[in-house]
Amino acid sequence: MLRGMWCVRYNGAVLLAFVTVVLAAGPLAPLAAQEPDSARIERLERQIEAITRQLEALQLGEDIVTVADTGVYGFAPGASKVYRVRRGVSIGGYGEVLFEGFAAERQDGSVANVPSQLDALRAILYVGYKFSDRILFNSEIEVEHASTEQAGEVSLEFGYVDYFFSDGVGARAGMLLVPMGFVNEQHEPTTFVGTERPVTEQRIIPSTWRENGLGVFGSVGNLSARAYVLNGFDGIGGGTSGAGGFSSSGLRGGRQKGSKAMAEDFAGVVRVDYDGIPGAALGTSFYYGQSGQSGRSATDPSTTIGGGTLIWEGHVEYRAHGFDARGLFALATVDDVAEINEVKGLTGSASVGERLIGWYGQLGYDALWRTASRHQLIPYLRYEAIDTQNRVPAGYAANPANDGTILTLGVAWKPLPQLVAKTDYGIFRNGADTGLNQLNIAIGYLF
Amino acid sequence: MAALAAVATPSAAQLRLTQDEALRLAFPPPLSIERRTAFLETEELARARGLAGQDAEIERSVVTYYVGVDSGRVGGYAYFDAHVVRTLAEVLMIVVTPEGAVSRIEVLRFSEPPEYRAPEGWLATFGDHTLTDALSLKGSIINMTGATLTSRAVTRAVRRVLALHQIVREREEP
């Protein structure tokens, strides 16, 4: 009974309190909820402002969008300008697959008997890392011909660190691409017409040509330049890098590729480009260095072979209104070739060239330029002449097979800027009448 | 793309200007800068997409822009556009006259290798362009040699901004 009476009293007290609260709040509740419209609008505007600022920071980057002093809007002043350095890894790459079909007969009518070939020519991975806004790392790793168990190889094509002194001006060190010509620094299949690189840019500017070194780069207005010091060629061959040395067909064998490169001799290279004409670019580069790497003369071991190597090239490019045109001229000279020949055991027409000359011009036009299509269909032609033994030492002879021309006719289709399918037919002629025509088909990608 | 680092190698990110610095370049004193935001309706967004064209995708319906004002007179409109060039980001400020023509473009961030960044001279060729078919790489905008992807990215961004500006102006004018 007592419990029951207590419950009634307790429950009654609660009920009374509840009723009291309701009665007290009743007339006040609508007043509390009735924020003036103007104040409410102002509050909502501040919230929207804050949200849109945060949205903008997300879109543009928090180091670009400074947090405004929001005291004007009634919030506590931020007064902070946060500079957040973005760091991270980035990845890109490219690749090509190439079919080469050779003619049955050579230029002189003799049977060629060269089998056709379908090759996963190269697959490249770019990996870079940004340490800060001033310092970054870039690298390129290449797999050629699919497998090292077959005819392939895996190489570090470049790997360097950049330091930016200011916008667009900096220094770099590591394994560098030699800044000469078009193809050596820019060899993704979507960036040039033709299934294969010009021969001049394989034998005289021996793409892909990379060596260890350091240098500076920068641009002022429409001029850009870079200047590097690198380990030189191994023109003789047989050194620690495994380079084979120069040959009658050009300088390609002298590349050390940054692999235990002999560094007895160094080289310098300078390149300048001008792009002040809309759609056009022109430039030149100059390389000089000793290539003997302290090799000894075969006839006088007390004499070191210098092998001074000079390469000069000039190039021009025009890409506008559907046209894609390029021209390049390259001249190289090598000193002490007779001594190099002696050490390498080269005689007669197998001599390394003392002077090498090559040039090419190419022209393509996007047949879909005037249409609304996003595809590109580019018929093109390239004419090239190269002579890797334009001059040889006395007592040696030039092999006429190393003096030739190539006329290439083809078409490229790019459904996207990063994809290309190309086919072309190359007509090879040389002084020995051993030229062998070939039909090539290639696909390439870039990401 | 001309290559210090061989075609579109990654990671050369550079912050060149903050938003405040860019706006001060666009609207120096005595202009004051007003920040405004337009929340586009579905129809407005569709119309902006149509104006910009198939290539210049517009994904945002919240458009924040900045107006330079002097004594009540509008000096220009500044829009900021962030987009990917190849795999990395670029941020542009595109300044538009009240009549809807491009008056200035500034690069705030360019994360691809610096040799692919659009030079000032090339950006200046967008000056006085309005949103017409000629505003394209197949029209009066000449592609940068060695920087095709940058050329495309910038051209698309300009078309995108001019399309949004047209909608914004229609909303502001009674």
Tens of pLDDT along A348-401?
Answer: 999 999 999 999 999 999 999 888 888 999 999 999 999 999 999 999 999 999
Contacts of A179 in chain B (CB under 8 A): 4
Contacts of A172 in chain B (CB under 8 A): 4
Residue B121 predicted with pLDDT over 70: yes
DSSP 8-state secondary structure symbol assigned to residue B142 = P
CA distance A280 to chain B (A): 6
Quote the CA–CA distance of B125 and B104 in Å, as a whole number. 10
Q: Which of A139, A186, A221 sits opposite B1 (nearest CB)?
A: A186
Contacts of A275 in chain B (CB under 8 A): 119, 144-145
Query: Chain A: residue nearest B80 by CA?
Result: A60
pLDDT 10s digits, B75-99 = 999 999 999 988 788 999 999 999 9
The answer to whether residues A403 and A250 touch, using CB atoms and an 8 Å cutoff, is no
Per-residue confidence (pLDDT) for residue A75, from 0 to 100: 29
Q: Whole-model pTM?
A: 0.81
Chains A, B: CB contacts within 8 A come to 162
Q: Which of B5, B91, B142 sits opposite A278 (nearest CB)?
A: B142
Instruction: Report DSSP letters for A344-364, one per residue.
Output: HT--GGGPPPSEEEEEEEEEE
Per-residue confidence (pLDDT) for residue A410, from 0 to 100: 98
Instruction: Report DSSP letters for B42-58, one per residue.
Output: HHHHHHHHHHH-SSS--
What integer best gives the mean pLDDT of chain B?
A: 86
Backbone angles phi, psi at B101, to 5 degrees: -110, 150
Per-residue confidence (pLDDT) for residue B174, from 0 to 100: 62
Quote the CA–CA distance of A25 and A12 in Å, as a whole number. 20
Top pLDDT among A252 and A279 is at A252
Domain residues of chain A, as ranges? 2-73, 89-446
Q: Are strands A355-365 and A376-391 parallel, antiparallel or unpaired?
A: antiparallel
Per-residue confidence (pLDDT) for residue A106, from 0 to 100: 95
- Whether residue B119 and residue A275 make contact (CB cut-off 8 A), yes or no, is yes
Residue A69 predicted with pLDDT over 80: no
Query: Chain B: residue nearest A280 by CA?
Result: B145
Looking at A32-46, A79-93, B35-49, which range is the least confident one? A79-93
Looking at A34-38, A191-195, A333-337, which range is the least confident one? A34-38
Q: Which of B6, B62, B108 sits opposite A52 (nearest CB)?
A: B62
Helix or strand run (H / E) with residue B122? helix B120-124
pLDDT 10s digits, A243-262 = 999 999 999 999 999 999 99
Residue A80 predicted with pLDDT over 70: no
pLDDT 10s digits, B63-73 = 999 999 999 89
Residue B15 contacts A, CB cutoff 8 Å: yes
The top-scoring range by mean pLDDT among A27-36, A220-229, A422-431, B45-54 is: A422-431
Residue A347 predicted with pLDDT over 90: yes
Whether ipTM exceeds 0.90: no
DSSP 8-state secondary structure symbol assigned to residue A273 = E
Per-residue confidence (pLDDT) for residue A43, from 0 to 100: 87
Look at the block and give the residue holding tokens 């021009």: A316
Contacts of A374 in chain B (CB under 8 A): 55
Residue B134 contacts A, CB cutoff 8 Å: no
Residue B149 contacts A, CB cutoff 8 Å: yes
Per-residue confidence (pLDDT) for residue B14, from 0 to 100: 66
Per-residue confidence (pLDDT) for residue B54, from 0 to 100: 80
Per-residue confidence (pLDDT) for residue B157, from 0 to 100: 97
Contacts of B152 in chain A (CB under 8 A): 417
- Whether residue A90 and residue B145 make contact (CB cut-off 8 A), yes or no, is no
Quote the CA–CA distance of A307 and A339 in Å, as a whole number. 9
How confident is residue B5, by pLDDT bands cut at 50, 70 and 90?
A: very low
The answer to whether residues A104 and A87 touch, using CB atoms and an 8 Å cutoff, is no
Q: Which of B87, B91, B144 sits opposite A61 (nearest CB)?
A: B91
Closest C-alpha to B135, from B167, B112, B166, B158? B158
The CATH classification number of A89-446 equals 2.40.160.10
Residue B7 predicted with pLDDT over 50: no
Using alpha carbons, list the distances in angstroms from residue A32 to A12, A29, A36, A39, A74: 29, 5, 10, 13, 21
Per the DSSP assignment, residues forming a β-bridge with B105 are: B94
Contacts of B107 in chain A (CB under 8 A): none
Residue A420 predicted with pLDDT over 60: yes
Residue B88 contacts A, CB cutoff 8 Å: yes
CA distance B85 to chain A (A): 11
Looking at A91-105, A132-146, A325-339, B1-15, which range is the least confident one? B1-15
Per-residue confidence (pLDDT) for residue A131, from 0 to 100: 86
Residues 43-72 of B with CB under 8 A from A: 55, 60, 62, 64
Q: Are strands A309-320 and A323-334 parallel, antiparallel or unpaired?
A: antiparallel
pLDDT 10s digits, B135-170 = 998 889 998 877 888 999 999 999 999 999 999 999
